[in-house]
Homo-oligomer: A and B are copies of this chain.
Amino acid sequence: MIIAASFDVNKPELWVNRGLSYGDGLFETMRMSQQTIPLLDLHLNRLNTDLGKLQLRSLDRAVIDAALKQLDQSVGTQLVGDSAVIKLYVFRANQARTYTPLTEHVEWLLTADEVPQVNSKKALKLAVAEQRISQQPMLAGIKHLSRLEQVMLSAELNQYKGIDDLLLLDKDNHIIETSHQNVIMIRNNQLITPNLGQSGVKGVALQWLQASHDLQFQHISIKDLIDCDGMMVSNSIRGFRLVESVKLNRKQCISFGTSHPIHDKISGHWEALFNS
């Protein structure tokens, strides 16, 4: 459901915008619990940093706070209860019809959806995607609206049975992320995550982890997985989950444990954010 927007959502012409036409914008998917968004500051910091990269103006925190208050007071609370997935879309405002960005002004839209049921204790099974994720340093790390590549990479998931997510590599065979989660390796109690300078999204859960742990960004190849003691995936809605196995091809598979004390500790801290 739509909670609020910077434009009159009842005017159809205003929906034919640069978000739809070009994917010229960003989004944040945020977990609301007990009517607050514990990581709102991290989400808005990332959003505003990345808006700057797209030559767009920052969004004022007060605008979003006011919009979220509407959710409390509206039918929203009845619909979604205490918890919700709050999605914030921000896109370049209307301008002359050309790819060239001619304005820094933005429009925004805020929606609420149900929180998906997630069992954070269940370890996941991954498979390596055959298709490769592209390299574009200009957009690397940014959670932007032009996500057709992720959609088409994810289409491979339809070929598999019993696989929860795909591990995406670039053309240099470096691990980047899964279709919708960051990847964190545990090796000798050290946390290692792929370098995101060329591809991928730098998730808010990963940034939250980085604030409290020594997290090393490195090039990681499939063969490096063999030396690791554990593997996790993370995103802002589903938190931190262990990876049980990575299917490399029809014959080969790398297996990890289904429990690890470092995961238990991180996941415990994470869940406490939303259940305190």
Contacts and interface: CB of A to CB of B under 8 A. Distances in A.
A150 B144 CA distance: 13
A86 to B, nearest CB: 13
A152 B27 contact: no
Interface residues of A, number: 54
A51 to B, nearest CB: 13
Given A12-B10, A13-B1, A134-B134, A100 B148 contact: no
A154 B149 CA distance: 20
A64 interface: no
Nearest to A100: B154
Contact of A23 (B23, B55, B157): B23
A80 interface: no
Nearest to A89: B20
A101 B145 contact: no
Which 9 pairs, one residue from A and one from B, show the smallest C-beta to C-beta distance?
A146-B146, A23-B23, A146-B148, A134-B136, A15-B15, A9-B12, A100-B154, A22-B147, A99-B154
B139 A148 contact: yes
Contacts of A131: 138
Nearest to A116: B97
A33 interface: no
Most buried by B among A18, A102, A136, A153: A136
Interface string A28-61: 0000000000000000000000000011000000
B109 A16 contact: yes
A102 B151 CA distance: 10
B145 A20 contact: yes
A117 interface: no
Contact of A16 (B100, B111, B150, B179): B111
A158 interface: yes
Contacts of A27: 21
Most buried by B among A9, A92, A100, A134: A100
A149 B139 contact: yes
A2 B16 CA distance: 8
A93 to B, nearest CB: 13
